Amino acid sequence: MNDFNDRMRRILLEERAKLTGNLLLEHQQFDEMIHQHEIGDSIDEVSTTIDKNLLERLGANIFMSVQRIDVALARMENGTYGVCVKCGKMIDKARLEVLPEASMCIDCQKSTTHHR
Ligand SMILES: [Zn+2]
């Protein structure tokens, strides 16, 4: 574990605590629900087991953010953190500083958003 990853991990964990902390105020079982799912489950799969209205109320965006953070943390564990999932290049550290949960380099992110 290098210093950079170590620092990013702390930021991610803080951010995650903030996000789930907000959610817990609304629904105490939310964190539990997240843990019932494998990291990388799509929001669709999750929606089938979590009441859809509840999910909407809690905010799918927050849910997705927590998932992204979990994925980033998992990638730290297996040593692929900081590698673009699309092209396999290293993601610019300056980008990770701003967006620690980024899984794509800036170029791939741009091309992905463009095609929407
Ligand atoms: Zn890339």
Q: Determine the average pLDDT of the residues in 27-36.
A: 60
Would you state the pLDDT for residue 74? 95
Give 20 Cα–ligand 1 centroid separation in angstroms.
29
The whole domain housing 45 covers 3-114
CATH number at residue 34: 1.20.120.910
What phi and psi values does residue 101 have, to the nearest 5 degrees? -90, 5
Give 5 Cα–ligand 1 centroid separation in angstroms.
19
Q: Which tens digits make up the pLDDT trace of 72-96? A: 999 999 999 999 999 999 999 999 9
Number of domains in the chain: 1
Percent of the chain whose predicted confidence (pLDDT) is above 70 = 65
For residues 35 and 16, what is the distance between their CA atoms, to the nearest angstrom?
13
What's the pTM?
Answer: 0.67
Whether 3 has a pLDDT exceeding 80, the answer reads yes
